[in-house]
Every structure is written in structure tokens, then in C-alpha cells.
Amino acid sequence: MKIGNFKISDTSKVFIIAELSANHNNDYQLAVDTIHAMKEAGADCVKLQTYTADSISMNADTKYFAPRDSGLWKGQRPFDVFKVGAMPYEWQPKLIELANSLGMECFSSPFDKEAIDFLESINTTAYKIASFEIQDIPLIEYAASKGKPIIISTGIADIEDIQLAVEACKKVGNNDIALLKCTSAYPTPFNEINIKVIPDLKEKFGVLVGLSDHTMGSVVPMGAVSLGAKIIEKHFVLDRSNGGVDAAFSMEPHEFKAMVDNVRNLELALGSVTYELTDKQKDSKTRGTSLFVCKDVKKGDKITSENIKAVRPAAGLHPKHYNEIINKVFKEDMVKGTPLSFDLILE
């Protein structure tokens, strides 16, 4: 998968997305400042959301659109939440240009066909399908038909939902797909994450896999990377105390940077499947154990467990020869601390 200047594969570095979402609080300068902070924190990509309140909900008086009775947005109508969180379309080309000028990629989640048409008009490089839209198969087909990489979150999806979404992409000839393990709870309890699904997604669907995470902290992203995630997405906010629709489960700059640093170090630590020793390991091996004379002996003395032992360093015979040489005879006098070799032993 190639998104802008970034190539994402099983052998590439993890692609780290900072999700701006609604944390702009309808303040353009705040959005700009946040994108600069994302760069400083090590993000590879900024993700926006392209919608209006009417794209996602309805301004209706029926019970289906009534104020929520639980969760972060308790007491608020969905339409009103989305109206506050919607980013003005006219900001988006400028924010994408800013992110690109800082060396980051920038794309968005569309929530209706009009949003896709808008994003096409500004030459978006990829599409992210949000968790709650995974069941909107016409939307997925339309986005996939544009021939751009499709990244799909699975926050409310069962296996059939995921299968339908993947098939929708392939139906229009788009196989450039990534699936992100996600749990749509804000913030998500650790016992509801199930990141062991990540390698199973890869095996079942044969696509790139990653994580869209709403837990607090970076423990879950670290575990996901160790299980093969090649994309990590986290919500980003300049300061949680400023509030906002998504602020409560978003990372502040210092937290995001710590996560990025940990991911990069973990990538180095994961390395590859190899048993070849590094130069430092080879040097350390010279200080491993070997067989030494552990008391003064005379020529003709029998070799016993009383006069030889395995100790550091590795200057003598390999300890695997211990049983082989017991009861044989020393060729010459030796002092305690002499490394054993076959040249010093009579058959």
C-alpha cells in the first residue's frame, strides 16, 4: 500500500496516524497548531473527518435521534454533537497542504458520497472508513471505486460485516485494503480490546492490518505492533483540559510522542527471525563457560569431577565434552586455572 510518499507493507515501519477528529473545536488556528504538534510528536499522518451533521444523523424529534442516555455525550442529541464536531470543508485543503509541507501525509474519513466527491476534488491519497460506517456498503463501494487505498476500522463489526466490507472493495477492483482492529467504546476498557484478533484478520483476509485505538496510554498500540500491526491510529489533542467532543480519549502531544518513540524502539527490538549472533553477542560468547582445571594436578592424574569444572570464560573445552573426558588422564602437570584442551589429555 502506498499513501503519498509512504509505503506500508509487512516489512516497512509502522505507519502512525494522528487523528484530529473533532479536536479542532471549530477553531482553525487550533487545528493548525495541533497539526504542528503532531509533527513534533512523530506522526506520519494526520487524519481528518469530512462530514456535516446531516451526513451522519438527522435533526429529527423521534426517539432514534433523542439525547444519548449514557457515555461521553450523555444528554446530547447526536445531531448536535456532530454539528459541533464537523470540520468546515474549506479548511481541509489548507490543512492537507500544511501537513504535506511538514512531511506528513493527510487524508480523511468521508461519511457520505458528497464527502467523497469533495475529497476527490482535492486529490486525496486514501480513504479511511470509520467503524460506524463499515455497514454502509454503498459508501465503501463508492470510495473504493476511486482506486485509492482503503483503510477500514472494525469497531462495531462482526466477521460478516468485515467480509462484506472487504468484498465491497474487491467488487469494484480495489484490493488495496487495510483492516484496523478497533473497539467502539470511548475510552475502551482494556478487557474489551482483544488485539489477538490482529494476526487472525491478516490470515483470514490477506490484507494489511493495524489498530485504531481508543484506550488510554500506549500499552495496546505496543501490543498490537508486536502482533503484526503496520498501522496505528490514535486521537490527538493539544490539551484535554480544553475539552471537545473527542478530547477525553485523545492523547496529548507528550503522550503521543512517548508512544511513537516506544513503537520505533519496539520495531528495532522485534528485528527478524535469525539465530545469527551480533558482533556484541559474539564478543560476549567469548566470556561464556568452558572447562578448566580447578586444582593443581600432576602428569598421569586421572581427570575427575574434583579437578575440572565449567566456569567462565570460554577459553577451554566446550562443556559438552565433560562426560567424554572424565576418567581420562592429564598429559602434564597443570596449575589451577588452566583451560583444558584435547592436547592436554591422554586417551
Note whether 264 and 286 are same-domain residues.
Answer: no
Percent helix, strand, coil in the chain, to 5, is: 40, 20, 40
- C-alpha 107/C-alpha 149 separation (Å) is 11
Q: Report the chain's mean pLDDT, rounded to a whole number.
A: 95
44 and 192 inside one domain: yes
Comparing 84 with 161, the larger pLDDT belongs to 161
Q: Which of 64-73, 116-125, 160-169, 259-268 has the lowest mean pLDDT?
A: 64-73
Is the same domain home to 325 and 180? no
Task: Give the pLDDT band of residue 69 (cuts 50, 70, 90).
Answer: confident
Q: Assess whether pLDDT exceeds 90 at residue 177.
A: yes
Torsion of CA 89, 90, 92, 95, to 10 degrees: -150
Same structural domain, 47 and 166: yes
| Cβ proximity of 250 and 236 under 8 Å | yes
**pLDDT given at position 246:** 86
Q: What is the pLDDT of residue 133?
A: 96
Residue 17 or 86, more confident: 17
Tell whether 293 and 265 lie within a shared domain: no
- Report how far residue 133's alpha carbon sits from residue 153's, in angstroms, rounded to the nearest whole number: 9
Higher pLDDT, 84 or 146: 146
Q: Provide the pLDDT for residue 241.
A: 92
Banded model confidence at residue 323, pLDDT cuts 50, 70, 90: very high
Q: Is the pLDDT of residue 231 over 90?
A: yes
Q: Is the pLDDT of residue 230 over 80?
A: yes
Confidence of residue 270 (pLDDT cuts 50, 70, 90): very high
Q: What does the alpha-carbon distance between residue 113 and residue 197 come to, in Å, rounded to a whole number?
A: 30
Beta carbons of 146 and 172 less than 8 angstroms apart: no
Say yes or no: 6 and 116 in one domain.
Answer: yes
The confidence score (pLDDT) of residue 74 equals 84
- Determine the Cα–Cα distance for residues 287 and 250; give it in Å rounded to an integer: 49
pLDDT tens-digit profile of 124-155?
Answer: 999 999 999 999 999 999 999 999 999 999 99
> Residues 253, 283: one domain?
no
Instruction: Provide the number of structural domains found in the chain.
Output: 2
The answer on 337 and 294 residing in a single domain is yes
The percent of residues in the chain predicted with pLDDT above 90, rounded, is 87
71 has a pLDDT exceeding 80: no
pLDDT for 208? 98
Per-residue confidence (pLDDT) for residue 326, from 0 to 100? 97
Q: pLDDT band at 76, cuts 50/70/90?
A: confident
The pLDDT assigned to 296 comes to 98
Q: Are residues 342 and 206 in the same domain?
A: no
Percent of the chain with pLDDT over 70: 100
Domain identity same for 284 and 201: no
The pLDDT confidence band at residue 232, using thresholds 50, 70 and 90, is very high
In a domain, 77, yes or no: no
The verdict on 296 and 215 lying in the same domain is no
Name the least confident of 35-39, 124-128, 147-151, 183-187: 183-187
- Domain assignment present for residue 99? The answer is yes
Q: What is the mean pLDDT of residues 150-165?
A: 97
pLDDT at 84 over 90: no
pLDDT band at 79 (very low <50, low <70, confident <90, very high): confident
Whether residues 238 and 340 fall in one domain = no
Q: Which range marks the domain in which residue 12 is found?
A: 2-51+86-270
Report the SS3 class of residue 211: strand
